[in-house]
Homo-oligomer: A and B are copies of this chain.
Amino acid sequence: MARVSSLLSFCFTLFIFFHGYTAQKFPNECQLDQLNALEPTHVLKSEAGRIEIWDHQAPQLRCSGVSFARYIIEAKGLYLPAFYNTAKLSFVAKGHGLMGRVIPGCAETYQDSPLFQPGRGGQYDEGQGQEQGQRQSQSFRDMHQKVEQIRTGDTIATSPGVAQWFYNDGQQPLVIVAVFDLASDQNQLDRNPRPFYLAGNNPEGQVWLQGREQNPQNHIISGFAPEIIAQAWKIDLDLAHKIQKPNEKHGNIVRVEGQFSAIRPPLRGQRPQEEDEERRGGEGNGLEETICSARVTENLDDPSNADVYKPQLGYISTLNSYDLPILRFLRLSALRGSIRQNAMVLPQWNANANAVLYVTEGEAQVQVVNDNGDRVFDGQISQGQLLSIPQGFAVVKRATSQRFEWVEFKTNANAQINTLAGRTSVVRGLPLEVVSNGFGISLEEARRVKFNTLETTLTHSSGPISQGRPRVAYA
């Protein structure tokens, strides 16, 4: 009988469990009592690098509707072309390299010079499957879509379904972090990030997809019958088989042996002749104005372009759809900050966006307050950590190392912030009587609250700040 009643209690527990599960999980995804500085939960190792993935089912990322990943590409590593079901905004956290995207229907505007010569470059006239063994591979005249040099601070917008690759041509690891907007209309699948590989593989499978076992993941070309591939590419069946066979050990970042000779422009700042051409204007072929040439990259690390700049405190740069029009479609924007020890970013909240903050260097003390007035985060965040700051949640940051640098991705093409203190803050906009009655203080005290702080965004902070585990009001 005891067993029966324990069974009954088990069933009842089950009942409670499910009731709680369904009643809470769906409607209260942002009922967050506590935030955490998040670290990657999955690592996909490849021959020449690794991909680190944050669990997008973690409550705070669930609430924000985004997913996050970090790509570490070693020297001479090539991140093979892949596309996603979501809009993506990437930031080059370290290193430099090459980046290419293939935009559907656009022409191959990068051509090897000397241009195709009648005698040598006749690829267009060749029949199917002919052998060209007499040529050295280096003598091919290639043509492909735009290749860009990327370096630390570059922020790169990528549309869903657009294949992108990266190559590390430096000596240091190339580190790229990226946010994927799962909640926007651009993603028409479910709320999971789904990479589609055009080459390479992922022997561990899509481990971030919960609820079932994952099979190893292969590139999509391998999924077709070899005859289809042979006929589509007009190659022989042996080559099709070779292409389809995955090399389990390589993963999706492979090491390039020998030279990587993709056609590339000179680095920015090294091409006065190009600017000359631009200045001449009027003579272009209009290509600059098509979707094929839409600018997708902007560097956020140049303090001379900063939106807020105080030599003694640091700088903040933002990137929104006014700077980079493609962001309007992607519903994403970014903010780059760099502050010195003891500088404080005045408390603020995101009015119309969720944000995720990734630390690229140094440490800071951060406090986050939720809708209930509870301090849901109070601690240090340091290089490589991620913190989600949902819409409306108030946040303050204070550098605790020599320099604190971070990037924030926001789920709105024109994210707006409101500050709690400073010259453009909410208290400045309120009449004195509202401040005084609101806080139960005198008009004179209200005047100090309103007018004492003259800065807008950054101020100096000093002395120890009381800190502890997240605190609930009244506790």
Contact = CB atoms under 8 A, between A and B. Distances in A.
B210 A27 contact: yes
Contacts of A11: 7, 10-11, 14
A459 B24 CA distance: 47
15 contacts: A23-B211, A28-B211, A30-B194, A81-B426, A81-B430, A100-B430, A126-B452, A144-B429, A161-B418, A198-B438, A218-B474, A220-B369, A224-B347, A226-B466, A231-B462
A443 B104 contact: no
A188 interface: yes
Most interface-central of A11, A29, A441 (chain B CB within 10 A) = A11
A322 interface: no
Contacts of A325: none
Contact of A444 (B84, B128, B133, B474): B133
A137 B446 CA distance: 10
Given A235-B448, A346-B232, A433-B262, A189 B7 contact: no
A110 to B, nearest CB: 8
Contact of A459 (B223, B232, B396): B232
Given A246-B473, A418-B161, A465-B225, A191 B27 contact: yes
Interface string A203-235: 001100111101111111111111111011111
A247 interface: yes
Contacts of A392: 83-85, 160-161, 189, 194, 196
A199 interface: yes
B135 A371 contact: no
A352 interface: yes
Contact of A8 (B7, B211, B228): B7
A225 B189 CA distance: 42
A161 to B, nearest CB: 2
Nearest to A222: B373
A350 to B, nearest CB: 7
B206 A372 contact: yes
A354 interface: yes
Nearest to A8: B7
Nearest to A342: B231
Task: Count chain B CB atoms within 10 A of each CB in A190, A430, A433 and give the residue with the most.
Answer: A430
Interface in A166-216: 167, 183-192, 194-201, 205-206, 209-212, 214-216
A79 to B, nearest CB: 10
A69 interface: no
Interface in A33-57: 57
Interface residues of A, number: 191
A320 to B, nearest CB: 13
A409 to B, nearest CB: 13
Given A83-B418, A102-B430, A140-B444, 9 more contacts: A78-B434, A123-B447, A124-B454, A215-B372, A217-B373, A218-B374, A225-B378, A231-B344, A262-B434
Contacts of A147: 431
A407 B393 CA distance: 32
B218 A373 contact: yes
Nearest to A189: B30
B228 A367 contact: yes
Given A14-B14, A235-B448, A449-B235, A30 B373 contact: no
Nearest to A291: B416
Interface stretch (A253-261, A277-285, A294-302, A333-341): A253-261
A142 interface: yes
A161 B352 contact: yes
